[in-house]
Amino acid sequence: MKSIFGITAGVLVVLLAVSCSQAPKPKSQPVVKPVYHAYLTLLTGQMTGKPGWPQLQPADFTLPADSDVVLTITSYGDDSAMVSAPYDKVMGTKDGQELVNGQAVSSVPLKQIAHTFSIDALKLNLPIPAVQHHKGPVVPVVVVAEFHTPVSGTQTWQCYAACGTGKSGWEGSMVTDGFMTGKVTFSNR
Ligand SMILES: [Cu+2]
């Protein structure tokens, strides 16, 4: 019994060795670049004490250049605002998608959009749906999107849902740096 077991074990070792040698070997270790995470919060004017002036915090910020970035926007925007195509589409992200409360989508119905985070120069657009109204504490909408940043430069971002003041909704926060428009700088310094 002992010798039979010995032979069986030996055959098994040979078989394992053969199957391992046949496995394709990577030519070199792939370079894994770390993914950078950035977090933004979109507050209502009510929350900041400036009714009618929703605000992205921070609105002016720096992201690493030529990098994969995961942007998380936690939004308390509770009213939909007038916006037109193509700003209902997710654009410029990995797979053309964003996560809305964990669910992958490639667009948001126009009537549900409260804000957008859009950088026209990069063809980047993240539609942000309005918070659902229900009893109890406000549950923010969380939008997560991954995209690759340019090698350098400073770009203006703009919200394209008319969430500001005035008849058109395009005054106040919509045209004031630090609220619904701002500057994103791409730099590794
Ligand atoms: Cu807005």
- Residue 48 in 3-state DSSP? helix
First to last CA, the chain: 70
> What residue ranges define each of the domains in the chain, with the CATH number in brackets?
36-186 (2.60.40.420)
Which pLDDT score, from 0 to 100, does residue 31 have?
77
The alpha carbon of 5 and the centre of ligand 1 are apart by a number of angstroms equal to 73
- Residue 136 in 3-state DSSP? coil
The alpha carbon of 3 and the centre of ligand 1 are apart by a number of angstroms equal to 78
The alpha carbon of 153 and the centre of ligand 1 are apart by a number of angstroms equal to 24
Which pLDDT score, from 0 to 100, does residue 26 have?
61
Question: H or E element: which one contains 75?
Answer: strand 68-75
- Asked whether 122 and 155 are in contact (CB, 8 A), the reply is yes
Which residue, chain included where needed, has tokens 């659902």?
132
The alpha carbon of 39 and the centre of ligand 1 are apart by a number of angstroms equal to 17
Question: H or E element: which one contains 22?
Answer: helix 2-22
The alpha carbon of 158 and the centre of ligand 1 are apart by a number of angstroms equal to 8
- Asked whether 80 and 54 are in contact (CB, 8 A), the reply is no
CB atoms within 10 A of CB 92: 17
- Asked whether 158 and 118 are in contact (CB, 8 A), the reply is yes
Residues of the chain where predicted confidence (pLDDT) is lower than 70: 1-27
H helical segments located in 23-157: 45-48
The alpha carbon of 114 and the centre of ligand 1 are apart by a number of angstroms equal to 6
Which pLDDT score, from 0 to 100, does residue 48 have?
94
The alpha carbon of 55 and the centre of ligand 1 are apart by a number of angstroms equal to 8
Which pLDDT score, from 0 to 100, does residue 133 have?
81
**Backbone CA torsion sign across 168, 173, 176, 180:** negative
The alpha carbon of 173 and the centre of ligand 1 are apart by a number of angstroms equal to 8
What is the distance between the alpha carbons of residues 97 and 61, in angstroms, rounded to a whole number? 23
The alpha carbon of 71 and the centre of ligand 1 are apart by a number of angstroms equal to 17
CA angle, residues 15, 17, 22, in degrees to nearest 5: 95
Which pLDDT score, from 0 to 100, does residue 112 have?
98
Per-chain residues with Cβ under 5 A from ion ligand 1: 115, 159, 161, 163, 180
Longest dimension (CA), the chain: 93
Which residue, chain included where needed, has tokens 């910020």?
61
The alpha carbon of 45 and the centre of ligand 1 are apart by a number of angstroms equal to 11
The alpha carbon of 14 and the centre of ligand 1 are apart by a number of angstroms equal to 66
